[in-house]
Amino acid sequence: MIENLPSAEELEETALRIHFDAWHRTIGLIFDFSEAYQLEKGEEPESSDDYQEEWLEYLLGSQAEMGAICSSIQHSAELRLKSIICTVSPFLLLLNNSVPLKGGQTSLDFASLRTIDSVDLPNAVRTLSDFPLSNAFDLHFNELRRRRNQLTHLGVHQNNLTPNNLIQFMNTQYNFLWPDGRWLYRRTIFDGNSARRFFNDHRYASVETDVMIELATSIPRIANVDFKKMFGFKKSAMNIYCPNCMGLRATKWHSGGHPTAVQTGSKSATCLMCEQSLVLEDIAQEYTKCDSCETSMLVISTTTDADSLCSSCGEVLDPS
How far apart, in whole angstroms, are the C-alpha atoms of residue 67 and residue 152? 10
- The residue range among 120-128, 150-158, 180-188, 270-278 that interacts with Zn ion, by the rule CB under 5 A, is 270-278
Residues 6+ apart with CB under 8 A from 315: 290, 291, 292, 293, 309
What minimum distance in Å lies between the beta carbon of 301 and Zn ion? 8
Closer residue to Zn ion (CB): 79 or 283: 283
Size of the residue set binding Zn ion (CB under 5 A): 13
How far apart, in whole angstroms, are the C-alpha atoms of residue 191 and residue 184? 10
Does residue 271 belong to the site contacting Zn ion (CB under 5 A)? yes
In the chain the first and final C-alpha atoms are separated, in Å, by 70
Does residue 134 belong to the site contacting Zn ion (CB under 5 A)? no
How far apart, in whole angstroms, are the C-alpha atoms of residue 112 and residue 274? 39
How far apart, in whole angstroms, are the C-alpha atoms of residue 298 and residue 281? 5
* Neighbour tally for 94: CB within 10 Å: 16
What minimum distance in Å lies between the beta carbon of 105 and Zn ion? 51
How far apart, in whole angstroms, are the C-alpha atoms of residue 2 and residue 311? 54
Does residue 296 belong to the site contacting Zn ion (CB under 5 A)? yes
Does residue 244 belong to the site contacting Zn ion (CB under 5 A)? yes
Closer residue to Zn ion (CB): 72 or 206: 206
Closer residue to Zn ion (CB): 113 or 293: 293
Does residue 242 belong to the site contacting Zn ion (CB under 5 A)? yes
Closer residue to Zn ion (CB): 73 or 246: 246
Closer residue to Zn ion (CB): 2 or 313: 313
User: Interface with Zn ion by CB under 5 A: which residues?
Assistant: 242, 244-245, 271, 273-274, 290, 292-293, 296, 310, 313, 315
